[in-house]
Amino acid sequence: MTRQERDRFETEEARRIHREVVIVDDTDTEYEAAEEETPFAYEEQDEEERSERLNPLTMITTGRILPTGNRAYYRYFIAIALMCFFSIFITFMSLNASREYRQREQYASVLHERAVLKEEERYSLSSKQDVTARLKHHGIELIDLTNDSRRIKE
């Protein structure tokens, strides 16, 4: 690269840098002019935007989580998500009810078995042989009624 080419390159580079500095200065002056008109407006907007951006609930409810073109379908998306949630919720509730029903059924079968055992125990204590043995122990005689002595006939 010759000296002239280098000088030309440096001057072009200096012009480009100068143009960019002028553009940045212009935007700064526009920003400062707007700030002088409403001194804290931009800061308040920035804080609001930051708080909205950081809050996930706001992002979900306003649809900012989706690209701009898909926001028209956002209501359908929310409806489908709610239906899926309720479907899963109802499924788990029915599974829980089924589990509780099985537990109660098992408990009822245990109670039935206990009742049968108690009935058998009561019958063994009150069998005819035991009753006659107790009556003889107390000196009482048990007399069986014959069919002729009954007043009501079948």
> Mean per-residue pLDDT for 50-65?
65
- Distance in angstroms (rounded) separating the CA atoms of residues 48 and 54: 10
pLDDT(118) > 80: yes
* Angstrom distance (rounded) from CA 34 to CA 97: 64
Per-residue pLDDT, 121: 81
Residue 148's φ and ψ, nearest 5 degrees, are -75, -25
Q: DSSP label at 151? A: S
Q: Which residue has the tokens 């012009």?
A: 15
Q: In terms of pLDDT, which residue wins out, 112 or 7?
A: 112
Helix, strand or coil for residue 35? helix
pLDDT at residue 24, rounded to an integer: 65
The enclosing H or E element of 42 equals helix 41-54
pTM, two decimals, is: 0.38
Q: Quickly state the pLDDT bin for 9 (edges 50, 70, 90).
A: confident
pLDDT higher than threshold 80 for residue 57: no
* Rounded-to-integer distance, Cα 131 and Cα 136, Å: 9
Closest Cα to residue 62, out of 71, 54, 73, 49? 71
